[in-house]
């Protein structure tokens, strides 16, 4: 794989990279308008999405940091984004060009004050895994195999400016207006700042591992603060396959799926603080078919005034009572005090239809996450509403800021459960742990 010898750090250099990408996107739109004369709208739009996804991702993977992290987040929105973007942006989860060995050593020394070989007995300067914010290297100390995650240079310093640069791209891809979107982007910015603080990540990792150690078939690495800094994390080297590489059978899919589901439900309902980055690159499956949870940089605390109406909203009893359903929608800021009767009717109907499917796992004792009808229906409804011309005319920026990471968690979790083809999952099993 190609390596990177430098990363643009200054605002001007990073902005110029995206400006160049914007020019390419502009050319793609010109080609799109021309191709509509000879192709169907569907074919022309499909090629436009493919071209734009390619150009945008190629730019972001060189910038790394929060710009690439946004691409990673968008790749999990499989029910909202065109397939071309999901396919291309999903590469940011575990397959991006790593830093070159000389830049790795230089970066490590700038963070630690010593070279890797002065700290560890053995250190492989070639990355084993490169993602959006940092990359992982294999090392050894006193006979112990270790994983050393090194943050890319300039990541934390460029978060605010990066988000300003990628905001127009994200808004356009998701087809929402910039109006009233400040609180949502501030939520993303705050979480990204937390993710760049590796000392905080170590603290959170140790806390989660301790709080969830009783969950069957779930493993965590041990962390080593003395070999870590605010930009470097050292932990046990864990051997296994990423979920995207793992092919389960019916028994292993159920076993690992139950561990994954219990892990998230325990966090959501007991800890009220959840690992809000559930993508395949953050989980391994061990040789003895146990789930290994990694990377706790992105943790979302769920305040009670959001938690209560959120889970009341998806209860079957709430969905069956219109007045109660609308009241919960108001508590969660989905329906606003300024809404007209037409807007109340539109959004209550839309969310009722979506949630009636989304909440199905919570309406049964056990659930089959291999059910293609369930996932196809959610995808079909999401596509239906993102293309809805009525929705585009209305104020679509709705809902509490807490929806961003809580919904991201659930859609990511559902996706992983489907990837495992997990059947007969006991929904409330976490209560018995």
Question: Could you tell me if 204 and 299 are in contact, meaning their C-beta atoms sit under 8 angstroms apart?
Answer: yes
d(CA 5, CA 102): 8
Residue 389: the pLDDT is 65
Burial of 347 (0-12, 13-18, 19+ CB in 10 A): buried
Residue 50 tokens read as 């493919």
DSSP letter (8 states) at residue 269: I
DSSP letter (8 states) at residue 265: H
pTM equals 0.81
Residue 23: the pLDDT is 44
d(CA 38, CA 43): 10
Residue 287: the pLDDT is 94
Task: Find tokens 């070639």 and name the residue.
Answer: 126
Residue 18: the pLDDT is 54
Question: Could you tell me if 276 and 190 are in contact, meaning their C-beta atoms sit under 8 angstroms apart?
Answer: no
**Nearest 5°: CA angle at 26, between 25 and 31?**
95
Burial of 200 (0-12, 13-18, 19+ CB in 10 A): middle
- 10-residue mean pLDDT series, the chain (433 residues): 59 54 49 54 65 66 62 57 61 66 94 96 92 89 96 81 68 59 81 90 95 96 96 96 90 96 97 91 93 92 96 95 95 91 90 93 96 88 70 71 90 92 96 90
Q: Are strands 283-285 and 291-293 parallel, antiparallel or unpaired?
A: antiparallel
Residue 113: the pLDDT is 95
């Amino acid at each position: 794989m190609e390596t990177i010898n430098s990363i643009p750090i200054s605002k001007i250099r990073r902005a110029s990279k995206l400006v160049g990408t914007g020019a390419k996107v502009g050319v793609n739109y010109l080609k799109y308008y021309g191709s509509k004369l000879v192709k169907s709208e569907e074919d022309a739009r499909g090629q436009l999405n493919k071209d734009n996804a390619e150009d945008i991702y190629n730019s972001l993977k060189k910038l790394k940091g929060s710009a690439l992290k946004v691409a990673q987040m968008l790749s999990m929105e499989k029910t909202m984004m065109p397939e071309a973007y999901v396919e291309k942006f999903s590469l940011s989860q575990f397959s991006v060009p790593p830093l070159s060995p000389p830049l790795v050593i230089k970066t490590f020394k700038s963070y630690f004050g010593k070279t890797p070989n002065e700290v560890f007995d053995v250190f492989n300067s070639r990355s084993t895994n490169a993602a959006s914010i940092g990359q992982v290297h294999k090392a050894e100390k006193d006979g112990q195999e270790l994983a050393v995650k090194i943050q890319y240079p300039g990541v934390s310093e460029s978060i605010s400016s990066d988000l300003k640069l990628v905001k127009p791209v994200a808004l356009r891809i998701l087809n929402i207006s910039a109006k009233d979107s400040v609180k949502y982007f501030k939520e993303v910015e705050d979480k990204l700042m937390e993710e760049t603080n590796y000392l905080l990540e170590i603290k959170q990792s140790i806390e989660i591992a301790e709080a969830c150690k009783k969950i069957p078939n779930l493993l965590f690495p041990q962390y080593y603060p003395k070999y870590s800094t605010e930009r470097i994390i050292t932990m046990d080297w864990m051997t296994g396959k990423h979920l995207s590489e793992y092919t389960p059978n019916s028994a292993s899919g159920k076993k690992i799926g139950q561990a994954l589901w219990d892990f998230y439900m325990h966090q959501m309902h007991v800890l009220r603080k959840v690992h809000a980055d559930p993508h395949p690159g953050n989980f391994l499956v061990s040789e003895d078919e146990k789930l290994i949870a990694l990377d706790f940089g992105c943790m979302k605390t769920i305040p009670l005034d959001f938690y209560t109406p959120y889970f009341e909203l998806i209860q079957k009893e709430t969905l069956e009572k219109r007045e109660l359903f609308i009241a919960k929608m108001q508590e969660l800021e989905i329906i606003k005090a300024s809404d007209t009767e037409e807007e109340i009717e539109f959004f209550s109907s839309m969310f009722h239809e979506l949630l009636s499917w989304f909440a199905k796992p919570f309406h049964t004792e056990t659930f089959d996450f291999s059910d293609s009808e369930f996932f196809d229906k959610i995808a079909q409804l999401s596509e239906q509403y993102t293309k809805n011309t009525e929705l585009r005319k209305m104020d679509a920026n709705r809902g509490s800021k807490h929806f961003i990471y809580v919904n991201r968690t659930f859609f990511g979790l559902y996706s992983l459960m489907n990837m495992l083809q997990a059947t007969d999952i006991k929904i409330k099993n976490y209560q018995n742990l």
